[in-house]
Structure 1
Amino acid sequence: MLCRGVMRAVRPSAVGLLSSLTLKESRVCHRTPVSVCHYSSSEEEKISRYPVPYKKNLPYDIVELMEEVEMKGGFLPNVFKVLAHRPAEFRAFFAYYNLLMNKETGGLSKADRELIVVATSAHNNCLYCVVSHSALHRIYSKKPTLADQVAVNYKVAELTARERAMLDFALTVCRSDTVTDEHFSSLEAHGFDREDIWDIAAIAAFFALSNRMAHLTDMRPNTEFYNMGRVPRDKRPPGTENDRPE
């Protein structure tokens, strides 16, 4: 079962995607969480070419996680629904995701981490990850256009020298180019230490897996992702103040 105290302690904005969590239980959920609907691979919701299981047939810990994410973010990202096709792999995927993307140590900010995902996912032509992680970058960075620039061509994006060095190295790993001591020297000159360099490489490597699974399943982004973080809350038209999920 999820550790709710830990989940509550993590900032719930940016759809929450994942917070610190523990997935242990293997019981099937025999109740319907009040805030979540059942999902299946119906004609109305083509988010995967594989069957999307009904929540009532999923292990209880996975249902609990989905409920937490939807409650905090306002919607359930499709990656949760699609990967639930294989619960054991779902747990492994999100455990590693959490360790890479939500850690509070090291020199990479959450915006840095999301920018790495956008750049490498664009290279891998992954629609789902580019759209969803661009949304998260906009929210964490408060920059509504930078992720779009990076998704098209990071080499001409309005990046700092530090961000450019970070993405140059992330793409080196993404392309499986040879990593040399010169890469380390360049990154260290921009303030990254060796643990940060590991993080950059691990994020690029992990999302190479994620991108390819998205291709396999034909995973489709939630429509909510497209507008997230584009318009500051105080500049929204009247009546739309509550549009951004919290």
Structure 2
Amino acid sequence: MTDKVTALDLEPEAPLPEDVATYFDKCREKLGLIPNVLLAYAFDAEKLWAFSAMYNDLMLAPSGLTKAEREMIAVAVSAQNACVYCLTAHGAALRQLTGNPALAETIAQNWRVADITPRQRAMLAFAVKLTNAPADMGEDDRAALRAAGFSDADIWDIAAVAAFYNMSNRVAAAVEMRPNPEYHGMAR
């Protein structure tokens, strides 16, 4: 097994810009590791900051969706795209947030049989349809979310999170991004 985080020969800026080094130190402190996705982007600080800003806004900012629901979307979308990196990393995050490894693994394998609420089922159905058939999205899909109790702002967030993971899954696949080994054993 290689220590490279992607199949590309892109090295982090050397030396790391001070703000990037500080960010990575915070990651080590909070997470116990630097996520390989961040290391992959470290060859270009502007790309790293753009990716991180979008991630932080979608996954951590206030929303009508819980953090666990946002991770459910990340896992369900990544399962559709067979994204090894995101299934591993966000599967670990979902296990940690829910304290329920079986739930996270079921969503990764087949979200349709997961023990989730009707609200969450509607949310994942929308995210998966957006992933698999974006041209088929319509008012009926949004109406189903409204009927499940989501506001229009929540619908925006569901769509944005699903779209972000579709983008990041494709980048991860294109560069063969490898998950941090630590993710495999987290919260089991």
2-structure distance, mates of 1:53, 1:112: 34
Deviation of 1:162 after TM superposition, in Å, equals 1.1
**1:70–1:76: 8 Å Cα contact kept in structure 2?**
yes
CA-to-aligned-CA distance 1:30-75 (integer Å, 9 cap, x gap): xxxxxxxxxxxxx840321123535642222111111110111111
More helix by share: 2
1:75 to 2:36 alignment: no
1:126 to 2:122 alignment: no
The number of aligned residues is 187
Give the corresponding residue for 1:174: 131
Measured on the aligned residues, the alpha-carbon RMSD in Å equals 1.5
Give the corresponding residue for 1:53: 11
Give the corresponding residue for 2:146: 188
For residue 65 of structure 1, give the secondary structure of its aligned residue in structure 2.
helix
1-structure distance, mates of 2:12, 2:52: 19
Q: Structure 1 regions of 5+ residues with no counterpart?
A: 1-42, 231-246
Deviation of 1:185 after TM superposition, in Å, equals 1.6
Equivalence map 1:30-69=2 (5 Å):
44-54=2-12, 56-69=14-27
For residue 53 of structure 1, give the secondary structure of its aligned residue in structure 2.
coil
1:229 to 2:171 alignment: no
1:141 to 2:79 alignment: no
Could you list the structure 1 runs, at least 4 aligned residues long, displaced by more than 4 angstroms after superposition: none
For residue 145 of structure 1, give the secondary structure of its aligned residue in structure 2.
helix
Which structure has the larger Rg over C-alpha atoms? 1
**2:13–2:43: 8 Å Cα contact kept in structure 1?**
no
1:165 to 2:105 alignment: no
Give the corresponding residue for 1:219: 177
Of 57, 60, 74, which residue of structure 2 is paired with 1:102? 60
**2:77–2:127: 8 Å Cα contact kept in structure 1?**
yes
Deviation of 1:76 after TM superposition, in Å, equals 1.3
**1:135–1:225: 8 Å Cα contact kept in structure 2?**
yes
Deviation of 1:139 after TM superposition, in Å, equals 1.0
- How high is the TM-score relative to the length of structure 1? 0.72
CA-to-aligned-CA distance 1:83-126 (integer Å, 9 cap, x gap): 1122211111111111100012x320000000000000110110
- How high is the TM-score relative to the length of structure 2? 0.93
Q: Structure 2 regions of 5+ residues with no counterpart?
A: none
Query: Which of 1 and 2 has higher RCO (CA within 8 Å, sep 6+)?
Result: 2
Deviation of 1:153 after TM superposition, in Å, equals 1.2
1:199 to 2:157 alignment: yes
2-structure distance, mates of 1:163, 1:123: 17
